[in-house]
Chains A and B, each alone.
Chain A
Amino acid sequence: MIIFQTFLLAVMLAAAISAAVFRDLMNAVIACALVSLMASIMFYFLQAPDVAMAEASIGAGLTTGIFIFAIRRTVRQEEDEEGS
């Protein structure tokens, strides 16, 4: 069971790194939803079913919806790095 939890944490960290790296903001938001989903499964393994339900519905569902509405009203692509 600990191998499975380690695998879930590795998927979560890979999704977080890709949320940081992606240029298209829509793809970054979907990666953020994947992070929330993996965190919700981890909450279940940590014997917290209430928190798992809250994170799955609010983090993976509503936060993604809010981000998509905001991206629709503003920019879609991140600007290029010109050096800081």
Chain B
Amino acid sequence: MSFLSDYIHYIGSFALVLIGLYVVLVKSNLIKVIIGINLIDTGVNLFLVSVGYLHMGTAPIFSQADGAGKEMVDPVPQALVLTAIVIGVSVVALALSMAIRLYQHYGTLDLRKITELKW
């Protein structure tokens, strides 16, 4: 039980990154590859936020209902992950627009066929 509570967040985020990496490496449909990139982004964000967590900590917000006696968790990884989420969605949007143009030009989204049709 203590092994679970110590490391389960790390194991979960690493497994998500590895699943996304498998999708990027093996699948041949371009939209599936972009789904894999999105999975890698989500896994890394989950890992960053779990690094900043303190045991029995509280959220880094001052409010009128003070959680006295509890230390606040680290706010810097949360600020970095806010930036990373927005950048992840802009990368996915730009990659999908390139996929749409590729489909209009070649008629297929299979990466094995596109690398054979040179020019």
Residue among A28, A51, A58 with max Cβ neighbours from chain B (10 Å): A51
Q: With contacts A9-B12, A55-B45 known, is A66 near B93, CB below 8 A?
A: yes
Count of interface residues, chain A, beta-carbon cutoff 8 Å: 42
Give the complex CA separation of A73 and B11 in angstroms: 37
Q: Is the CB–CB distance between B59 and A47 below 8 Å?
A: yes
Interface size on B, residues (CB 8 A): 55
Given contacts A13-B19, A70-B99, A73-B103, contact A50 B28 (CB under 8 A): no
Interface hits, A25-66 → B, CB 8 Å: 25, 28-29, 32, 35-36, 39, 42-43, 46-51, 54-55, 58-59, 62-63, 66
Known: A16-B16, A51-B82, A58-B85. Is A67-B4 also a contact (CB below 8 A)? Answer: no
**Distance of A70 from chain B, by nearest CB (Å):** 4
Give the docked Cα–Cα distance between A51 and B48 (Å).
Answer: 11
Instruction: Check B82 against A54 for contact (C-beta < 8 Å).
Output: yes
Can you list 14 pairs linking A and B with CB atoms under 8 Å apart? A2-B4, A6-B4, A13-B16, A16-B16, A16-B20, A19-B23, A35-B42, A36-B42, A43-B46, A46-B49, A48-B52, A51-B85, A54-B82, A79-B110
Given contacts A51-B85, A54-B85, A58-B86, 7 further A-B contacts (CB under 8 A): A9-B11, A28-B35, A32-B35, A47-B60, A48-B59, A74-B103, A84-B112
Which residues of A come within 8 Å of B, CB atoms?
A: 2, 5-6, 9, 12-13, 16-17, 19-20, 25, 28-29, 32, 35-36, 39, 42-43, 46-51, 54-55, 58-59, 62-63, 66-67, 70-71, 73-75, 78-79, 81, 84
